[in-house]
Structure 1
């Protein structure tokens, strides 16, 4: 059954991510068609075609490698200077031979772009669209991802809410097995420490799930009261009554004075009585509507932008983890493969109730959409943000020429930025490969 749930979680994640990619591409296709552009292809995935169907002038389909998608909008690249045949308006031929590697790359790209364009397409070419239409078309894709993220987050925040705090209950969640210095909390105890230096709680026989009833005869009603009583007990023996599975047990525990941080001040240690238990935490949820969701997404956006700025360094860290030079950062990036594995673990986790599984999957999918949307706004080709930046520059350049009474400078030739696009595309490919290998060789888990 666990394997079935794991597979179901992976499939849910994969299908929803593919649907998000398809909707992203529709975010480009729909406004492009509305503005009179010609869209010849809409595909999810890359590589060999698995299925396709032509509707009107557009071919819709699925390809074998589900790692992205694309739409083919006719006329993205204008013909370069000197590449016309002499027609005062414009013909549809581009030069196919140049000297210089980058010049040849640009020319080859133009040739491929214009190979299937005929005279009847002249007024539908994308580069001839007004700059603001280009911005709308190229922003449409990532805006769809942000909209998906918004509605998914909103659905969770408006119903379940998100955890903003936790209330400590007078119930034992964990018994610390041995006494370790405060600055080493969480360290695994050695066999010698387990035998010779157990915590008072471990020595007294306290167990996870025990609910404190009284401490030295004083009834216990909350964790704060229990914590104060422990700290004030110094090195004395205390009589503790606990409720264990409906039965009250009396235990004797001799607390030990240990330097511990008080009131969240980790820099200052104060000697206090120490028992060695961690309380059970009850999460405190906060709900909200669309404004609350927008505020939370604003905070998330700042975090994502900071992560994007550090992405190459973090991916390099994943590469080092693959060859065993360091541990993988549990807060580092993952690929869609890693996201699928996490979704599978969420769905198959025995201790998660169904509601928590659904919420976790929805939040995971929303987070991926938020990341994809913001990533695509990076103002570099081949990302959507590169085309948006080119269109905005075109609009500013033309407006400045009008203000100064100068001739119209014409369209911005994004083809000149193709060398940057090739470098950026190669970098994205390499980072994607590293993350996928990392998610297979040194995967992150829920317990990381």
Structure 2
């Protein structure tokens, strides 16, 4: 049964990934057609075509390897300085440029002269190239907000989940009380599991972060208003100073860091709580910030990936995963002993994270990524406007094809990194259990 659930989870998540890729390419396709650019192909997947159908001047289809997708646009690069679309050269670097230029025109037909990508104004080309990643951003935001505001997150509340009986430094490697440990302020004040704290020192509290901050800032006498068995009552406590976990500016615990602060001595009950729109915006902002940090940190993860793939070392929980690894996590979600709605929510959050990562990665300003074409169009617009301001001749289209040697290097690095992640995902996958 576990194997069947895993397979079902992998299939469902893979379908979500394919939809995300198809939606990305649809962004490019729709805007290209809107600006009159001819698009011969719209394909989901790579390799041999398993199904296709031509509608208008575009062939739509699916290919055998569901690891990506693409659209083909006519005239991605301008002709060379001599006005020719292809020429010959003995230089390997020059050959790369000319081969790319030639491929950009190989499906050109009579009447396409006015339907070439490079002939469109720079702002139109920016829109066409940005539309793909933007679709992934839209999916990420819609999925995230939809689940966050209807289902919610595991959140600490002001309800008491348990009371610590004595004062133990949180930096200590023990959780049990020893003779001589002072009684905790919470136990001494009579705080019970199930109490809901509604006010601290006479001031109303609605969320755990506010309550936690007020406790940390208080050393000495304080009143705690709780709701117990439907009735409110006021408890009196004398908070002590203790060594507690440090929090960052977002209110998250910093692992391995401790600070002196006021201490009451209870554990907050955690529940799945739907977020408000404002809370969802804050959480989404944190998700974006974390994703950007992970993208920047990718090179530093390579040694760990290599060790996990070839040296039998433990795979880090924050290790990068590819499509195969993400699908395996999706399969693992289906085997968790949690309610079905929790499984669905986790699947959707994973899919939102994938789409956000796809957006950020494609915005890196390097060819062959969408961000590279966007950077080329913006540079062209800048130099043309500068030429106009200084009454100089129009420099013409920026020849993005000249950057193809760099694009091949970037693509080679990306292929190697993808292969390393794939091997690690197969032999030593990230697990969520």
TM-score class, shorter-chain normalisation, is: 0.7 to 0.9
Q: Quick check: 2:170–2:244 contact (8 Å CA) kept in 1? A: no
2:304 equivalent to 1:317:
yes
Q: In the TM superposition, what whole-angstrom CA distance separates every residue of 1:117-174 from its partner, at most 9, and x where no partner exists?
A: 13411011100000010000000000000000111011112212233435574559xx
Tell me which residue corresponds to 2:276. 288
1:220 shift after superposition: 3.8
Could you tell me how far apart the structure 1 residues matched to 2:101 and 2:259 are? 66
Q: Which of 147, 150, 160 pairs up with 2:151?
A: 160
Tell me which residue corresponds to 1:20. 20
Q: Quick check: 2:158–2:196 contact (8 Å CA) kept in 1? A: no
Q: Quick check: 2:162–2:192 contact (8 Å CA) kept in 1? A: no
Residues 356 and 185 of structure 1: is their aligned pair in 2 closer, same or farther, counting only changes over 3 Å?
Answer: farther
Q: Quick check: 2:31–2:131 contact (8 Å CA) kept in 1? A: yes
RMSD between superposed Cα atoms in Å: 3.1
1:48 shift after superposition: 0.9
Alignment of 1:244-393 (within 5 A): 262-264=243-245, 267=258, 281-283=269-271, 285-289=273-277, 292-324=279-311, 326-350=313-337, 352-393=338-379
2:112 equivalent to 1:121:
yes
Q: Quick check: 1:169–1:280 contact (8 Å CA) kept in 2? A: yes
Tell me, what secondary structure is at the counterpart of 1:264?
strand
Q: Quick check: 1:167–1:284 contact (8 Å CA) kept in 2? A: no
Residues 346 and 398 of structure 1: is their aligned pair in 2 closer, same or farther, counting only changes over 3 Å?
Answer: same
Tell me, what secondary structure is at the counterpart of 2:350?
helix
Q: Quick check: 1:161–1:288 contact (8 Å CA) kept in 2? A: no
Tell me which residue corresponds to 2:51. 51
Residues 29 and 170 of structure 1: is their aligned pair in 2 closer, same or farther, counting only changes over 3 Å?
Answer: closer
TM-score under structure 1 normalisation? 0.75
Q: Quick check: 1:166–1:284 contact (8 Å CA) kept in 2? A: no
Could you tell me how far apart the structure 2 residues matched to 1:411 and 1:3 are? 55
Residues 200 and 303 of structure 1: is their aligned pair in 2 closer, same or farther, counting only changes over 3 Å?
Answer: closer
2:116 equivalent to 1:135:
no
Q: Quick check: 2:160–2:192 contact (8 Å CA) kept in 1? A: no
Tell me which residue corresponds to 1:107. 98
Q: Quick check: 1:164–1:286 contact (8 Å CA) kept in 2? A: no
Tell me, what secondary structure is at the counterpart of 2:156?
strand
Q: Quick check: 1:157–1:287 contact (8 Å CA) kept in 2? A: yes
Q: Quick check: 1:18–1:44 contact (8 Å CA) kept in 2? A: yes
TM-score under structure 2 normalisation? 0.77
Tell me, what secondary structure is at the counterpart of 1:76?
coil
2:86 equivalent to 1:94:
yes
1:310 shift after superposition: 1.1
Could you tell me how far apart the structure 1 residues matched to 2:323 and 2:48 are? 20
Could you tell me how far apart the structure 2 residues matched to 1:115 and 1:323 are? 42
Q: Quick check: 1:169–1:282 contact (8 Å CA) kept in 2? A: no
Q: Quick check: 2:117–2:125 contact (8 Å CA) kept in 1? A: yes
1:200 shift after superposition: 6.9
Alignment of 1:26-41 (within 5 A): 26-41=26-41
Residues 200 and 429 of structure 1: is their aligned pair in 2 closer, same or farther, counting only changes over 3 Å?
Answer: same
Q: Quick check: 2:367–2:406 contact (8 Å CA) kept in 1? A: yes
Q: Which runs of 5+ in 2 are unaligned?
A: 179-186, 198-240, 247-256
Could you tell me how far apart the structure 2 residues matched to 1:20 and 1:357 are? 19
Q: How many residues align?
A: 368
Residues 298 and 220 of structure 1: is their aligned pair in 2 closer, same or farther, counting only changes over 3 Å?
Answer: closer
Tell me which residue corresponds to 2:383. 397
Q: Quick check: 1:78–1:127 contact (8 Å CA) kept in 2? A: yes
2:48 equivalent to 1:61:
no
Q: In the TM superposition, what whole-angstrom CA distance separates every residue of 1:19-46 from its partner, at most 9, and x where no partner exists?
A: 1100100100001011011000000111
1:279 shift after superposition: 6.0
Higher mean alpha-carbon deviation, 301-310 vs 129-138, is at: 301-310
Residues 160 and 108 of structure 1: is their aligned pair in 2 closer, same or farther, counting only changes over 3 Å?
Answer: same
2:2 equivalent to 1:2:
yes
Tell me which residue corresponds to 1:242. none
Could you tell me how far apart the structure 1 residues matched to 2:242 and 2:307 are? 35
